[in-house]
Amino acid sequence: MLEFQNVTKRYSESGDALSEVSFALEPGELAFLTGHSGAGKSTLLRLIPVIERPTRGKIVLDGQPINRLTQREIPFLRRKLGLIFQDYRLLHDRTVFDNVALPLAIAGYSPVEIGRRVRAALDKVGLLRKEKRYPKGLSGGEQQRVGIARAIVHKPPVILADEPTGNLDPELSAEIMGLFREFNAVGVTLLIATHDLGLISRMACRRLRLHQGRLLEGG
């Protein structure tokens, strides 16, 4: 479903953030990307939606090499991905419903279809009753669940999460991990960057360990 072949990413300011990284995730696999701050986790994740492009090497998503995609083709690639961030990245002047509806509105879905899908996504994360609220009135855990509903509303086959529990206490973090497991149980492929080793130590999952831009384990 996702393959990196000898991927290197060099920033002119700071040198190689990733060096010769190779790994493959099968469809339906759940893997954690670990490593200290600065190890290259965010850089690796940003290459997949083509927020950044690799300096060398090849990336294949769902059978499609993404290196040579044009700007026009990138939005179609991104529809296969659900992105989740540490800081939620919600729009604070929009309701919960409108935040989750955003990807569908951009993709041109009808209002009826948007309503149906947004409520299904909110139901999945347990926020159906809060659709009219604004993000500011929600707890951190609830805001992240809105971020997750937004990421899954278009039913992407792959979910990428960058420190999704970085701002949450252990109990809420475990809840979020429970949601990820549920998505995984229905066949979604997930790659989750985290430095919270305590959280994932109890989960029997594949671990890709980055150290100074090199994949030391799991490749």
How many residues bind ligand ADP, per CB under 6 A?
14
Which residue's CB is nearer to ligand ADP, number 41 or number 145?
41
Q: Which of 13, 70, 110, 187 binds ligand ADP (CB under 6 A)?
A: 13
The answer to whether 17 and 53 have CB atoms below 8 angstroms apart is no
37 part of the interface to ligand ADP, by CB under 6 A:
yes
- The single residue among 86, 143, 165, 194 that binds ligand ADP, judged by CB under 6 A, is 86
User: Smallest gap, in angstroms, from Cβ of residue 152 to ligand ADP?
Assistant: 22
Contacts of 207 (CB under 8 A, 6+ apart): 31, 32, 34, 200, 217, 218
C-alpha count within 13 angstroms, C-beta hemisphere, residue 112 = 0
In the set 28, 38, 115, 219, which binds ligand ADP (CB under 6 A)?
38
CB atoms within 10 A of CB 157: 17
- Give the one residue of 2, 34, 40, 164 binding ligand ADP; rule: CB under 6 A: 40
Give the binding range for ligand ADP (CB under 6 A) out of 40-48, 59-67, 69-77, 201-209: 40-48
Task: Report the nearest approach of ligand ADP to the CB of residue 38 (Å).
Answer: 4
The answer to whether residue 11 forms part of the interface with ligand ADP (CB under 6 A) is: yes
119 or 209, CB closer to ligand ADP?
209
Residues 161-190 that bind ligand ADP (CB under 6 A): 163
Closest CA to 103 of 184, 49, 42: 49
- Give min distance, CB of 128 to ligand ADP, in A: 30
Q: Does 110 bind ligand ADP (CB under 6 A)?
A: no
Gap between the Cα atoms of 131 and 143, Å rounded: 12
Measured torsion, CA atoms of residues 147, 91, 52, 30, in degrees rounded to the nearest 10: 0
Q: Are 138 and 146 in contact (CB under 8 A)?
A: yes
Positions touching ligand ADP (CB under 6 A) are: 11, 13-14, 17, 35, 37-43, 86, 163
